[in-house]
Chain A
């Protein structure tokens, strides 16, 4: 691909007969696509259909394809003559240049800082691209990011990392901006802000390709396409979800049909729980009790303290030792180990996925849930390995079971880690935005499974920003705001579920 400025030319992208193979599999099959000046696209398609691959090819970061791509930039326009691909996966490194992080790391306080601050990261980006600092301050306040300027990268939550990526892209204003999963992890208010900002930058000459299955889109979007079976198909309207998948009819493995065996009726109790880093208070006087078999929705805007609250329950937070906290009937800090706690819990969160062992295979990743380890370090007894096989089959992952997790598309990786959360039929399921990166079909499929497991008596704490991604079984909700409990109430009428989400 050779981007060039045609003297009289306008912006335009033309792709013809594009073919691409990844590990023997033909991903793109003679794909044709054209984007003309003024067109703003949304690109949909099932997980693994090749959307991210196509985006990387257009942006020039993936080579080794056959076919013809021509990208023309406009000469006199405020937007930069470049194409930027914003990955759904944000990788950063520590000051020594390695990314050997673990998901609990941001809860530990350490004076010797080893990642950059948001400010330093943005400063380096701005210098690299010669960007104005004034424009940055405005963007930061528009996305509600100003307060995080002095935070370390390792301290940011998944939603905050997403915002940081978006800040960079909107600051740069490239003529072609491709954003992979722009909304994942963002709360409702941030999604609205983002759409407004996207509308604004298109006025300045930015052309968008948004890769998403979300239907709450900026108004500037005027074209919709679906990548299916290696070719592009233009749609007349947004196709929100396809028919329910056939997997839905499958019966769940028998070992998951048993109610979990509870050791105590009390799952978690917090008495005036507070967490702070230096002067910064993250949780303030939380009082909350979860009993066996209850199904909770945990909600609140980005940065309201949801993940920190969950980390206390999962034994991941060093400050739980100074709080009055009971887990599975036992007072925290009374001689139990974190492994004694984790044994009762199946957990997934965006951070957990980020920092998961990239060198584990699909099968090993699922099996590691039996030992609560990140990666598998033990030999499984035969009876357990049979259960892993059953779950692999149930999730249609048999063909991928020996693949390394990180080689799969993100949606599929997520499905693998979801299988990991339930492999031991835990007493408590903690699902923190479990369906991030899944397409609508996979989300429905997974939520139906959650409903079924919870019907058997499993306890649930669920975090989700999007109403289309909530299971039906939720009965109670706790809402956080700025680290405090805003409301605790029961969800009496299931029909009210749609109003639960801002």
Chain B
């Protein structure tokens, strides 16, 4: 198997990278009809598998699960999840041959072996569905020409997919049809029906392509989403330790700060986040984020280049073949950082204090979001895709840091994201060494406004506001946020 993207002509590369369209409500008027009465068989019954299956069945569709023989005989958790919720469960041989749609919801790493096992059993003209395009695009899996290949990728963990559905809402979701595998032209109708059956049409569906999904997803997760949040958190904590800030306070500021700061991002983009700062702090954060962008731009570009060329997935797959040697080593190292080992102190930090005392993180986030967005767009990815994979997802990852810090964040994201995150973190820290030497506690640990009278120069402030508000990520974001019918807080406590 060879990298699918690299087999394409430049024209076709750009063509597939450039697919991205926010789908209007009227696209979903046909409801779940395209899948009604069809036999849907889900491979795998973990969190994503079970919760999607519950939604599909509750939407009136015929759903059953197929598991490996050993999982059934050993009555493993996946078997219990499916049978205890009264789903029919069978082996590949029992269920795949009669399936109209086979939905692969196994972990990325197993895709090649799973697809090789099920493809020969699939009936002529059936559909194969993925929730991530890595196997098709990076591993170059070739699917039988009579089969239709679609993707439905909810942009949330499985538990949220279920929780939002039963509330009568849904989660933002990306759908795609693989152009090499749509022999009957039914792929899009089926993907839309699938999206409706999980409630996605109420929260926003983005029509993408396998290529655009993979290339933007990889870029977002390893740079701004996981990589820079990790680097920024560790550097901020170390700086506060160096300057004698109380360790418990510093740990709490860093652990919860990203969540509070990116909550503003979720509601009103970079503009809203920067507006939470005082005028002098905003100008300062703008200046240092400009500097950060300059320092980090080559690194962001390298990541994008390696993703586009297939270099990144090649090295990562070598590590998979090597028993995850590098991944496990880097994971252990993250667990040993001072930030990870210092428990958050029992101190109260007010909501505004997180902005005032952690201006450095605001600067990190602005620079990271804008850089990731700009780099993706320059590489041929549509601004809408780039928005989703940068700004939109940042608060979701920040939530996991607030819950359980970096080690856990890395454990819950996909292995692919985790691997890329470590690569970025290792390259980024030395790059920022000189920059961090200049940083003092006014930017991290203490209130930036302390001892300042709040005066700013009119012209400077106007120019800074202008630069923030007219950035393309803000323009695209404003439209997309409005289109998502309800901007819901993911967590309620």
Contacts and interface: CB of A to CB of B under 8 A. Distances in A.
Do these two chains interact? Answer: yes
Given A100-B491, A112-B47, A335-B36, A373 B80 contact: no
Q: Which of B32, B167, B490 has the most CB of A within 10 A?
A: B167
Nearest to A376: B486
A378 interface: yes
Given A277-B84, A374-B168, A99 B57 contact: no
B167 A102 contact: yes
Contact of B493 (A100, A278, A318): A100
B492 A102 contact: no
A338 B37 contact: no
Given A96-B404, A112-B77, A336-B60, A377 B491 contact: no
Contacts of A322: 86
Interface stretch (A103-111, A142-150, A223-231, A249-257): A103-111
Interface string B66-97: 00000000000110110011100000000000
Nearest to B489: A359
Interface residues of B, number: 36
Interface string A101-135: 11011001111101000000000000000000000
Contact of A358 (B36, B85, B168, B492): B492
Contact of A96 (B57, B84, B403): B403
Given A98-B403, A112-B47, A375 B489 contact: no
Majority-rule SS of A interface residues: loop
A217 B59 CA distance: 48
A371 interface: yes
Nearest to A276: B84
A374 B168 CA distance: 6
A113 to B, nearest CB: 11
Contact of A335 (B37, B490, B493): B37
A315 B58 CA distance: 8
Contacts of A321: 57, 86
A64 interface: no
Nearest to B86: A322
A372 B404 contact: no
A464 to B, nearest CB: 26
A471 B96 CA distance: 54
A109 B81 contact: yes
Interface string B234-264: 0000000000000000000000000000000
Contacts of A318: 54, 57, 85-86
Contacts of A359: 488-489, 492
Contacts of A234: none
Interface in B464-490: 485-486, 488-490
A377 B202 contact: yes
Contact of A109 (B47, B80, B403, B493): B80
Contacts of A108: 54, 85, 162
Given A96-B403, A377-B486, A335 B81 contact: no
A340 interface: yes
A319 B167 CA distance: 19
Interface string A188-229: 000000000000000000000000000000000000000000
Nearest to B62: A335
Contacts of A381: none
A91 B58 contact: no
19 contacts: A100-B163, A102-B167, A109-B80, A110-B81, A316-B166, A319-B85, A319-B86, A322-B86, A335-B60, A336-B60, A337-B60, A338-B59, A339-B168, A375-B167, A375-B169, A375-B488, A376-B486, A377-B169, A378-B485
Interface of A: 91, 93, 96-102, 104-105, 108-112, 114, 277-278, 315-316, 318-319, 321-322, 335-340, 357-359, 368, 371-378
Complex A-B, nearest 8 residue pairs according to Cβ-Cβ distance, in ascending order: A373-B168, A109-B84, A99-B493, A111-B77, A322-B86, A374-B167, A318-B85, A337-B60
